Amino acid sequence: MPGKDRLSFPWCGAKSAAEADLVVFGVGDEKGSRAPRKGSSGGPNAARSASLRFDLVRRKNAVSVMHSFSSKGMLKAYDAGNVTKAKVPDFSRKHARDGRILGCIGGDHSITYEVLKGIDSAVDSWGFVYIDAHPDMIASSGRYYGSVAHDLLSLKHVEAGSCVIVGVHAIEDEEAHEIAGSGIKVIDSDRITRDGIVAVSSYIKNMLPRNVYLSIDLDAVDPAFAPGVSAPAAGGLSAREILYIASAIGKNVNLGFDVMELNPRYDSGEMTAHLASQIMMSIASSTRKLK
């Protein structure tokens, strides 16, 4: 666990970014949020604290991190601490150019655009998987948490036809209109219920391009499993389903990933914060190095 003077995810064992394949960082910012629930700026440290509390095991003189069987072979990960939103594009660009995968914990979902703005200048083409209760395809207002997916389509090297939004069950009329002309594929919650998370995950994996980024808004998870979010929407994924799809899609992720909208003010017993860390660890256990 790097850095005794600050909170760090215990599953990030690398001592520096130079020796890491994956660089994890937090962005404690919610200026891009318009949710009545405030508090997502506390997300990064809440996730770290929960992971230290529930994932770190001390037995006599030994310290270890609890993990699933799929965690074997995890990339060397370094927790770089928190980064200001203004510095995220340059931070992401640098590490992407050095061939490192990025893992971000937020903060509001508008931060995803800043991460991918940096990555976009480091690769020639890419697509994204966007797991969210809301499609975030508002076009009439930009650079906030409700326009993220639409904003991403303005980046130079994104392939809209290789992008998919998953788990949608709260959509505005404007968003439906924008989706229709965007080329983005959408898999709503009803399809997940009908076909099952395994079949849906397999379907998504078969359509992905060479370079992939995965973004997860915790409000895609039903509030019964993740109450600590800024814009809860009943009818979402279970904790087991989000962990499965994160790990399954993670096998195709080679650019980066994020987990956004953790709001510790509305959490219960740190259950959402711990789930956020578990999702990140599941993806980190599955990702592959950029070739």
**Of all residues in the chain, what percent carry a pLDDT higher than 90?**
88
Assess contact for 236 and 275: CB atoms under 8 A: no
Do residues 22 and 246 touch, judged by C-beta distance below 8 A?
Answer: no
The reported pLDDT for the residue numbered 2 is 44
The pairing of strands 62-65 and 56-59 is antiparallel
Q: Looking at residue 78, what is its pLDDT? A: 97
Residues in contact with 170: Cβ distance below 8 Å, sequence separation at least 6, in sequence order: 133, 134, 233
Does the residue 99 lie in any domain?
Answer: yes
Is residue 8 a part of any domain in this protein? no
pLDDT band at 64 (very low <50, low <70, confident <90, very high): confident
Asked whether residue 289 is domain-assigned, the answer is: no
Q: Examine residue 9 and state whether it is found in any structural domain, yes or no.
A: no
DSSP string for the chain: ---TTS---TT---SSGGG-SEEEEEE---TT---SS--GGGHHHHHHHHHHHHTEEEETTEEEE---GGGTTPPPEEEEEE--GGGHHHHHHHHHHTT-EEEEEES-TTHHHHHHHHHHTT-S-BEEEEE-SS-----SS-SSTTSHHHHHTTSTTB-GGG-EEEEE----HHHHHHHHTT--EEEEHHHHHHH-HHHHHHHHHTT--SSEEEEEEGGGB-TTT---BSS--SS-B-HHHHHHHHHHHHTT--SEEEEE-B-GGG-STTHHHHHHHHHHHHHHTT-----
Mean pLDDT of 220-232: 98
- Residue 264 inside a domain? The answer is yes
Q: What percentage of residues in the chain have a pLDDT greater than 70?
A: 95
Task: Say which residue, 159 or 66, is predicted with more confidence.
Answer: 159
- CATH of residue 274: 3.40.800.10
Q: What is the pLDDT of residue 43?
A: 98
For residues 132-147, give the mean pLDDT: 98
Q: Which range marks the domain in which residue 150 is found?
A: 17-284
Reading the block at residue 248, the tokens are: 């399954």
- Express each pLDDT in 78-104 by its tens digit: 999 999 999 999 999 999 999 999 999
pLDDT band with cut points at 50, 70 and 90 for residue 1: very low
Residue 192 has pLDDT above 70, yes or no: yes
Please check the confidence at residue 7 and state whether its pLDDT lies above 80.
Answer: yes
**What is the C-alpha separation between 75 and 83, in angstroms, rounded?**
21
Least confident of 124-133, 140-149, 280-289: 280-289
Q: Residue 142 above 70 pLDDT?
A: yes
In a domain, 5, yes or no: no
Report if residue 160 sits inside a domain.
Answer: yes
What pLDDT, on a 0 to 100 scale, did the predictor assign at position 251? 93
Q: Characterize 176-201 residue by residue with b for buried, 16 or more Cβ atoms within 10 angstroms of its Cβ, and e for exposed.
A: eebbeebebbbbebebbeeeebeebb
Mean pLDDT within 241-259: 96
Task: Kindly indicate the confidence band of residue 70, based on its pLDDT and cuts at 50, 70 and 90.
Answer: low
What average pLDDT does the chain have? 94
- Rounded Cα distance between 167 and 105, Å, is 20
Cβ-contact 261, 227 below 8 angstroms:
no
Would you say residue 266 lies in a domain?
A: yes
Phi/psi for 117 (5° steps) reads: -60, -40
How many domains would you assign to the chain? 1
